[in-house]
């Protein structure tokens, strides 16, 4: 049996701002672009959340809901530095650390567990160290798998510690909405609800055939997740440096609409692989090959890591626009995402290297 922790900073960007600017502590803080620039909330302090403010909300709306909130412009370099420091604390506890983003990681602590040091205590020690050394709070979920640990870490935030004892995974998951499960988004949840499947417990009662009919190849994985079974290991060195998809056209084309449409399709393919591997990257790359086989790439490094097909397609389309000229024909289009959060160095190497 394994013991996995999922650790996640509470209101990450906002908490870092409150740490660095003591006058903001205890006050509603929203980090993100200004309403004038049509900014959105990247992170809201828990004081601001009481007013209904949340991530991804337009900043104008957030300040309407909570006029007393202080808006702070994001400082990504600073957040990356705090991230490096917290990951160093995690790695000091165990080398088996898998960062998911700047503020989240899985830790496999199986080998540290002893009768006098149960997994919950290791988690409590971790929280105490992060608080003492960084002045910030994390929420931690403790379970026998990644999936259950991640769901547990989201409960009772902020500054929470949620332990799911071995053997109680199914019970723990049963009352939760299906959307809590990895791979089930709002659309799928709505579709399931129309079939009377609202909770993970409802899902857990369905058989393998039911899952296969609805989710295809992913069905069995999802069925096991609903039952609290997930044997995906904590992966220390992420081999993936770039996720990309490309297509050679049957017939060379310069038609802007056809090319845009292709970029969207490729972005969807890249996004679904990123989702599957729980990756998000900052660098979006467009690869183009002209009718005469000249091949080149254009790339942009974004302020925020992306995972969704819309965000990837938006960035890739912006790269495509300036390349479109009357009479210029393309024979291949590729879209890729790289610059994954946790390995800054790998990201740099990639920028220097070629398209994978
Ligand atoms: P989250 O962990 O989703 O959010 P959080 O840490 O602010 O709050 P909590 O975990 O307590 O619910 O995201 C981590 C950081 O990633 C967040 O502080 C800012 C950034 N982020 C965005 O920039 N845009 C977003 O839409 C989201 C969700 C997060
Ligand atoms: Ca967080």
At 261-312, the pLDDT tens digits run: 999 999 999 999 998 888 889 899 999 999 888 889 999 989 889 999 999 9
Distance CA 190, CA 42 (A): 26
pLDDT in tens, 9-39: 999 999 999 999 999 999 999 999 999 988 9
The one catalytic residue in 17, 47, 98, 104 is: 104
Average pLDDT, integer, range 236-250: 80
Nearest CA to ligand 1 atom 14: 12
**307 contacts: CB under 8 Å, gap ≥ 6:** 271, 274, 275, 279, 280, 281
Q: Is the CB of 230 under 6 A from ligand 1?
A: no
The three-class DSSP label of residue 69 is coil
Give the per-residue pLDDT at 100. 87
Tell me whether residue 346 is one of the annotated catalytic residues. Answer: no
Residue 348's pLDDT band, with cuts at 50, 70 and 90, is: very low
**How many whole angstroms from 221 Cα to the centroid of ligand 2?**
26
Give the per-residue pLDDT at 159. 98
Judged against a pLDDT cut of 60, whether residue 240 lies above it is answered with no
Q: Which position has the token pair 């938006």?
A: 314
pLDDT in tens, 66-93: 999 999 999 988 998 999 999 999 999 9
Checking phi first, is residue 43 left (phi over 0); if not, alpha (psi -120 to 50) or beta?
Answer: beta
Stated pTM of the model: 0.71
Angstrom CA distances, 229 to 209, 211, 225, 279, stand at: 18, 15, 5, 21
Share of the chain above pLDDT 70, in %: 94
């Amino acid at each position: 049996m394994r013991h996995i922790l999922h650790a996640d900073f509470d209101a990450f960007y906002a908490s870092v701002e409150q740490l660095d600017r003591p006058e903001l502590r205890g006050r509603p803080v929203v980090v993100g672009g200004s309403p004038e620039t049509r900014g959105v909330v990247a992170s809201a302090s828990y004081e601001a959340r009481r007013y209904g403010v949340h991530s991804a909300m337009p900043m104008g709306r957030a300040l309407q809901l909570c006029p007393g909130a202080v808006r702070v412009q994001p400082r990504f370099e600073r957040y990356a530095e705090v991230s490096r420091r917290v990951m160093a604390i995690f790695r000091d506890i165990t080398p088996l650390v898998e960062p998911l983003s700047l503020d989240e990681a899985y830790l496999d602590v199986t080998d540290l567990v002893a009768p006098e040091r149960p997994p919950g205590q290791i988690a409590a020690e971790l929280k105490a160290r992060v608080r003492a050394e960084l002045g910030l709070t994390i929420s931690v979920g403790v379970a026998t798998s990644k999936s259950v640990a991640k769901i547990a870490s989201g409960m009772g935030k902020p500054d929470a510690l949620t332990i799911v004892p071995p053997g109680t995974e199914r019970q723990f998951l049963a009352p939760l909405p299906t959307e809590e499960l990895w791979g089930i988004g709002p659309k799928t949840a709505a579709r399931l609800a129309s079939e009377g499947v609202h909770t993970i417990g409802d899902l857990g009662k369905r058989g393998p055939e039911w899952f296969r009919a609805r989710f295809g190849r992913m069905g069995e994985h999802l069925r096991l997740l609903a039952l609290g079974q997930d044997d995906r290991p904590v992966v220390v060195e992420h081999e993936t440096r770039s996720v990309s998809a490309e297509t050679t056209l049957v017939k060379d084309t310069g038609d802007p609409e056809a090319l845009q449409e292709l970029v969207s399709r490729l972005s969807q393919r890249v996004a679904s692989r990123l989702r599957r591997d729980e990756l998000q990257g900052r660098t979006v790359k467009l690869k183009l090959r002209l009718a005469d086989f000249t091949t080149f790439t254009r790339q942009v490094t974004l302020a925020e890591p992306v995972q969704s097909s819309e965000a990837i397609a938006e960035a890739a389309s912006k790269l495509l626009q300036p390349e479109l000229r009357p009479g210029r024909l393309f024979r291949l289009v590729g879209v890729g995402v790289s610059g994954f959060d946790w390995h800054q160095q790998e990201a740099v190497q990639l920028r220097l290297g070629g398209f994978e």
